[in-house]
A and B are shown apart, each in its own frame.
Chain A
């Protein structure tokens, strides 16, 4: 039986958070692999964008892991993202015909990631509003800020691409 994210204790939520980052890293790597199969310049750039996102998710995962150890030491937890009913921060390629119709660019690849990060931040902010338990509230707040950092990272990447495209 899957549990609601809101029902998790702080150490469980943090533990699941680590797995969410790891899951996303794998999803981005799959996206990258998909585009690496094509040997053209643009597909290479899309794959690179997804690889970068995978690396970023792994960095986040490591940071969360460090926090877990700092706060909860070696406390065991067996919960992972698979045990939670809520879908938090799942990057999705949503148009089933996107590859056929050539409807993805490096820009859109980053937007897929941005949408996932925004969805995650909204999710954690909502939990912050709903919970009355101070330690949990603080943790959710921390998660939301974490996602805000990710968003800024991607927005920065998008902004870097924009002048390059405008410049031709």
Chain B
């Protein structure tokens, strides 16, 4: 018998394993050296990446440290391990906003705190405009960066320009705006992590809400001498989904009652949180699904003409690429999805349910599907190309070094013969998760079980067709 209170009928939705019940984990997260030491290491890595992308390597990207580390190692680890497993842990260790945050706090590890004024910050501390307090800027910026994907992934200087622009932008915005405004509303990497972290198997949450209700000083929000009030502007004692939690762990440091927990949980539980679902997040789901298709076509697909367009072989071709790419992501996918949701509402015979509500709710079914599409795409990068990493680790600047004796390691693709099977399994598992959550979302959307059952059918058809299209693309 299929248990509806369990993810895929297996793991109870409310199952949690509190990792912070182990003293070593709690001590680690409460220490002010965490995440600073990880950030310091990553800052060093990114300095080498920027240097290599600027001065090292050859014109063709395959042997450049910057390109290899960012687009093979980092991207693959991010999409295959960090986001599905550890939620927004990349944000914990991301060095890109480090300088901006240092300029705000004027300290890297300690806490500047005045008992009367609270945490002390430098800068103009403006509040981000309300009209932009959503994912739209990130949506357009992410889509915008994908216009240049062919440059970033093949020309070292392209990677340099992208990373350096992000660093400069984060510094400027950190001086003008308060706390992690850049990460919350602007960073193109942040947006998809925000959405996909709802599927992650890790969460930061309050252990006992009654302790927080009784607590007067709310250090997790306003800060105290032990740490900063939530840099991500969450109310840590109240948030219910991973979307905007950058896992900085400041709330572990500020909580006087050790009432914050880092939990393992079943994947996807936040997709069922019926708070603050919005169209900007729906569009993030559409864009991510669409971009995974376009990235595959451009980077791994068989159509040379499309590669020429994306590589700007001609201006006409490049503008066509941008136009088709934008139209597909911003209009075609959302419009097709709208058709299926309209049909779902008709099938459910639930005219009282607003179309917008059904549209937004069901768009979260694309989170598992989109994430596995990216994982499948990442296998297409990892398996053929990962041997390059050994080469560039030994000779990061292409200056003829051989630091680890692997500089002459030959290009060795592995498991490429079974790669289509791996990708197919990924996509099918993703479809299962999407269908599972589609049913639950149908129950949230439509008043009765019978209506939910009928309304589910068109959504399930869309998800199956989308998976079929991805299967055809990846292994067809």
Q: Could you tell me which A residues sit within 8 Å of B by CB distance?
A: 23, 26-27, 30, 33-34, 37-40, 42-43, 82, 87, 90, 92-102
Contacts and interface: CB of A to CB of B under 8 A. Distances in A.
- Chain A CB within 10 Å, residue with most, of B233, B238, B244: B233
Interface in B213-266: 213-214, 216-218, 221-222, 229, 232-240, 243-244
A82 B257 CA distance: 14
Contacts of A100: 133, 184, 232-234, 244
**Chain B residues touching A, majority SS:** loop
A102 B218 CA distance: 20
Nearest to A93: B235
A95 B276 contact: yes
A27 B238 contact: no
A39 B232 CA distance: 17
A96 B276 CA distance: 10
Nearest to B123: A39
B216 A30 contact: yes
B125 A38 contact: yes
B238 A93 contact: yes
Contacts of B65: none
Given A30-B217, A30-B221, A95-B235, 16 more contacts: A26-B216, A30-B218, A33-B222, A34-B229, A37-B119, A37-B222, A38-B127, A39-B125, A87-B213, A95-B275, A96-B234, A97-B276, A100-B133, A100-B184, A100-B232, A102-B127
Contacts of B240: 96
A27 B134 CA distance: 28
Interface residues of B, number: 35
Q: What are the 4 tightest A-B residue pairs by CB atom distance, in nearest-first order? A: A96-B239, A102-B130, A96-B238, A102-B133
Nearest to B276: A97
A13 B373 CA distance: 61
Contacts of A82: 214
A95 B238 contact: yes
Interface of chain A: mostly helix, strand, loop or mixed: loop
Contacts of B276: 95, 97, 101
A39 B121 CA distance: 11
Contacts of B238: 93-96
Given A27-B216, A87-B214, A99-B235, A33 B118 contact: yes
Nearest to A40: B127
A39 B126 contact: yes
B213 to A, nearest CB: 6
B178 interface: yes
8 contacts: A30-B217, A37-B119, A37-B178, A37-B222, A39-B125, A93-B238, A101-B276, A102-B133
Given A34-B221, A37-B118, A43 B184 contact: no
A39 B128 CA distance: 10
B124 interface: yes
Interface in B258-283: 275-276
B425 to A, nearest CB: 35
Nearest to B233: A99
Interface in B120-145: 121, 124-130, 133-134
Interface in B149-173: none
Contacts of B213: 87, 90, 92
A38 B126 contact: yes
B184 A40 contact: no
Contacts of A26: 216-217
A90 B238 CA distance: 14
Contacts of B121: 37
A34 B234 CA distance: 11
Contacts of B232: 100
Contacts of B214: 82, 87
Contacts of B229: 34, 37
B25 to A, nearest CB: 23
A114 B192 CA distance: 38
Contacts of B125: 37-39
B243 A30 contact: no
B115 to A, nearest CB: 11
Contact of A40 (B126, B216, B218): B126
B222 A98 contact: no
Nearest to B118: A33
Contacts of B126: 38-40
